[in-house]
Structure 1
């Protein structure tokens, strides 16, 4: 039993158990259900009655029902796995989607969730009641395959105290508005499952240049299709999901199992212990943007991406502080075919050091600007473009037999009545609208580079914590006071972190898609809960745990060492074992020097300078001025700011 559960006996009788409906049985819904079901264990409140409603016939969400041939995760198993249920050491660093679905099923078994999951259940609408919410739903029974129809039972309803919307970002496909598209043969990317859908001797057009577009373009160019054209708006920034170790002198090749990039961010002096003035400034992003591009140029000859010779983003928008980085590079060799620089200096650099070039067999993916229309005969119409990469496509007639709209999804919740918040109104960390904690939205932030499931876990922790405080204020106050005994000096004091992606070049991904910087957003949620451990606490846990905390990314397990959801007995071995083993890898001398060591030294020096200045001011009795030296005095950009203007 958790230490905090002892407060249940001390507090005496409590009020009745609350009921919570969870909509969606993907990663976000499952982890939310797990924390709700652990409320009694951690806080001594009554067991929460949980029901998880899922329209499909199983768990897994997008990873099961919108996956395609050879699909695999773009985030590593070290970052993606939930804090207390890890992926087997024997599995690859980047799981195939079917393996991740198996992981989620194992999660359900381990935490005994199957009994609360109701599949083949469609949510019709959700409305407010005088005491909470009412969920209307219907069962979908599968008839015989020959019938090919769904039998629908009568509408049912369930009254509950709170709802968690976990239906996922990738739920409602977005089809672009292009004149004549309706007369063409087209599919949304969610409908693509295997290569044979592209046919033989066909012309395939891909609309979009994100991770899914890259994967589907790779499937198309390695199918029996004759031609593949990728259309994009304004370019893309490809970032390998592993550290791009180069081949040296065309002889020394890197280990095929390279360090995942999402494990290689030293959180010490990036989020942890970086003064607010530096964390809120543009300097942090500028340093990482320049070092990132420098690393790409050294290893691949172009700053646009590692060996990325097409699709360079132009102007002010070309900064990693405002972008969703494309972490799938499968199609890149085919996009680069015929586009790499061939001058003497480029050849010398490539001979000395270059990322390994994958064979293409002479196959090539053409790039083109976004089509403005499709004529009656099926010919694509393009605006003029001065980009050299578009020349070949524009010099010929492009008449696609099949168009794939890899154009993403829209955030829409048709089942919610109008008085529920819209996505841009979720002004508490993008999770709930202030004053309405009983309606939580889990899993709807998108990191520039990182993974949604671990952020969803931290969101679930914070939301469940605040929901319980709202429903059981007296019991939670006693429980929190009990858990805080002896821990007051182990948690970093709360402050506001700048985690929003920046608006640049007419694009604002924070406003339109709730784009965040993974490390900063995760750390903010940990600070909100009092779960971010101090240096002194980590030092007492031994070298391996300290090194993982300082030199590794903000893995969720790091935030289970202290705080309301602390699980020290299980979290500490993970920090000292699995996570230490991956963090201790340097990623190679070039990467470690440019991306880890130099930023650490720079921000270490600036931090010491600011702290020394503030210390002298305090000695002089100027405490307020000392605080201004360390703090920016501003609250960073937050959700809902546009609504208050």
Structure 2
């Protein structure tokens, strides 16, 4: 008898969960998954909340699923349309279409008194696709995977007086960024964008290109800006140019960073703090500022500046327009070193500026935005953009809420917990591992789809009672304060490697060398935490993983060049190995025994 598994959502998380369950099905665990999707097509956010000129900020090397890759000739960063096509090809390649039920909206999930879950859904009416059937269909399932994603229900903060914009100008508009589709919505407008996440930065750039009259971009507490790929720079007059720049999310190495890490080193997060210290100094030498990569305004508070605390903003295109009023660097320093943003001299108006500002405290009756001027203990303004914006009259006729999304699950009945309460690797809770939330963590640097893949593998192993227990301590969460709105941030490489160790999929160096030789071993040491590395051994061993590693991932590593691999690979590896070795010896001396290596 089959074990029906209901998956809610046909985005990347739902698709990879379905595929993983199908391949893991056995006589003892006859998984029979189906996917319920309320939209008319697969793709989720990438299909239904996309917009003109949008591209993924995570590279194909990281974002692609472990055993279904894109050609080497394909560009590193896909457009959203290309990524949805990739998901369609993935569904076809692994024969998932017969498992996917489109235009089926889940309306209620409840606990069955006899055990398991009852999932009720409605279909779109055949005679009127704009409406749903009144009668629901109910399925009983022992296993349930919620894969609806982090970006579904818009979060719209309440700002006093914002309605005055519409009262004073009937043609003005206010909408959430999920409703933004093309530059036509921005052309000729006076625009106020709330939020400096990647979507907010994209819309600021698109506004400049569309010929907006005025653009003000509002940030709550700053951001950390980096390009999605390394750009050209010069040192002492020597230019370093790359026709094929390396994606920034592929630069972190494995050995000593995620593989062979002593528990004390992991718990203290000292790796994150050391890398932050080094990166800040390199950025200052190269770009003149350590707030971000060539970022002269919008800096985070010092205690929150680094990979341990925030999500890296890799939508960097708007930075030249934001930097213009603030970039001040002596000419001799620009001779010593200079970083070149690709779009620095391409504005339709050479003096066009995207003004940065705090979130408005309120709007006046006349529709003017009022910005706070917070002072520090010495009565000095905390933010230079707040000082500059005080001298300007900002009366927008278009407000875009790029304020993210909130997690709401109106279909979940009593007895179900929320993703934030999932105490088993942020996937399920210890009281009921039959219900999983796949794709509900967000990496500081990385991508959600590969995380969803390793989460699916972990969940299946958990259902089969094949997870190594007790679980190691969780040292992968980003560090946040109690008042933070988003508390589901993780360090990508630490999180996926932890789950791989839990299921016996993290290879040892000697094991790799014996089975695959030096080529794969070097890739594993110098590569980032790509999921194909965790398909070399263990329960999800894949015959295609070695070739992917020897070709695509090897190409990514060699593109760094000799200097890049020495500076960003070998030196950090040697340092972290020494740090871990020192911790191991200290632990051995203090306890009189061998410390368990993670």
Report the counterpart of residue 155 of structure 1 in structure 2: 136
Report the counterpart of residue 160 of structure 2 in structure 1: 179
Q: CA offset at residue 198 of structure 1?
A: 1.5
Report the counterpart of residue 484 of structure 1 in structure 2: none
Report the counterpart of residue 593 of structure 2 in structure 1: 626
Confirm or deny that 1:608 pairs with 2:585. no
Alignment of 1:553-592 (within 5 A): 553-567=528-542, 569-586=543-560, 589=563, 592=565
Report the counterpart of residue 128 of structure 1 in structure 2: 111
Report the counterpart of residue 537 of structure 1 in structure 2: 511
Cα distance in 2 between the residues matched to 1:467 and 1:182: 51
Report the counterpart of residue 5 of structure 1 in structure 2: none
Counterpart of 1:137 in 2: which secondary structure? strand
Counterpart of 1:177 in 2: which secondary structure? coil
- Judge conservation of contact 1:79–1:262 (CA < 8 Å) in 2: yes
- Judge conservation of contact 2:65–2:450 (CA < 8 Å) in 1: yes
Deviations 1:37-64 (A, max 9, x none): 1123xx4445422211111110000001
Bigger helix share: 1
Cα distance in 2 between the residues matched to 1:250 and 1:183: 54
Change in 2 beyond 3 A, CA 1:123/1:493: closer
Alignment of 1:334-413 (within 5 A): 334-342=321-329, 344=330, 347-357=331-341, 358-359=344-345, 360=347, 361-385=350-374, 386=381, 387-413=383-409
Q: CA offset at residue 244 of structure 1?
A: 4.5
Q: 1:456 aligns with which of 432, 435, 452?
A: 452
Q: 1:77 aligns with which of 56, 60, 71?
A: 60
Change in 2 beyond 3 A, CA 1:492/1:244: farther
Alignment of 1:81-92 (within 5 A): 81-92=64-75
Cα distance in 2 between the residues matched to 1:522 and 1:575: 17
Change in 2 beyond 3 A, CA 1:45/1:222: same
- Judge conservation of contact 1:492–1:533 (CA < 8 Å) in 2: no
Cα distance in 2 between the residues matched to 1:316 and 1:507: 15
Alignment of 1:27-426 (within 5 A): 27-40=12-25, 43-45=26-28, 47-129=30-112, 130-141=114-125, 149-150=130-131, 152=133, 154-184=135-165, 185-200=173-188, 202-248=189-235, 252-342=239-329, 344=330, 347-357=331-341, 358-359=344-345, 360=347, 361-385=350-374, 386=381, 387-426=383-422
Cα distance in 2 between the residues matched to 1:335 and 1:234: 16
Cα distance in 2 between the residues matched to 1:614 and 1:124: 54
Q: CA offset at residue 203 of structure 1?
A: 0.7
Deviations 1:266-306 (A, max 9, x none): 11001101211222224212111112212322221110111
Report the counterpart of residue 547 of structure 1 in structure 2: 522
Q: CA offset at residue 418 of structure 1?
A: 2.6
Cα distance in 1 between the residues matched to 2:546 and 2:102: 36
- Judge conservation of contact 1:244–1:306 (CA < 8 Å) in 2: no
- Judge conservation of contact 1:204–1:228 (CA < 8 Å) in 2: yes
RMSD of aligned residue pairs (Cα, Å) = 2.3
Change in 2 beyond 3 A, CA 1:290/1:208: same
Deviations 1:384-423 (A, max 9, x none): 2533333442212100101001000011111101310122
Cα distance in 1 between the residues matched to 2:403 and 2:84: 24
Report the number of matched residues.
577
Q: CA offset at residue 508 of structure 1?
A: 4.3
Q: CA offset at residue 245 of structure 1?
A: 4.4
Cα distance in 1 between the residues matched to 2:483 and 2:470: 34
Q: CA offset at residue 585 of structure 1?
A: 2.8
- Judge conservation of contact 1:243–1:261 (CA < 8 Å) in 2: yes
- Judge conservation of contact 1:322–1:508 (CA < 8 Å) in 2: no
Cα distance in 1 between the residues matched to 2:469 and 2:551: 24
Q: CA offset at residue 559 of structure 1?
A: 0.6
Q: CA offset at residue 315 of structure 1?
A: 3.2
- TM-score, structure 2 as length reference: 0.91
- TM-score, structure 1 as length reference: 0.85
Counterpart of 2:544 in 1: which secondary structure? helix
Cα distance in 2 between the residues matched to 1:575 and 1:404: 42
Change in 2 beyond 3 A, CA 1:226/1:614: closer
Cα distance in 2 between the residues matched to 1:133 and 1:370: 44
Deviations 1:446-482 (A, max 9, x none): 001100000000001111222244xxxxxx8xxx9xx
- Judge conservation of contact 1:496–1:524 (CA < 8 Å) in 2: no
- Judge conservation of contact 2:232–2:239 (CA < 8 Å) in 1: no
- Judge conservation of contact 1:276–1:497 (CA < 8 Å) in 2: no
Report the counterpart of residue 642 of structure 1 in structure 2: none
Change in 2 beyond 3 A, CA 1:460/1:252: same
- Judge conservation of contact 2:228–2:247 (CA < 8 Å) in 1: yes
Cα distance in 2 between the residues matched to 1:83 and 1:319: 29
Counterpart of 2:239 in 1: which secondary structure? coil
Cα distance in 1 between the residues matched to 2:185 and 2:517: 54
Confirm or deny that 1:499 pairs with 2:482. no
Q: Point out where structure 2 has 5 or more consecutive residues left out of the alignment.
A: 166-172, 375-380
Cα distance in 1 between the residues matched to 2:126 and 2:566: 57
Q: 1:528 aligns with which of 499, 502, 514?
A: 502
Cα distance in 1 between the residues matched to 2:244 and 2:317: 16
Q: CA offset at residue 631 of structure 1?
A: 7.5
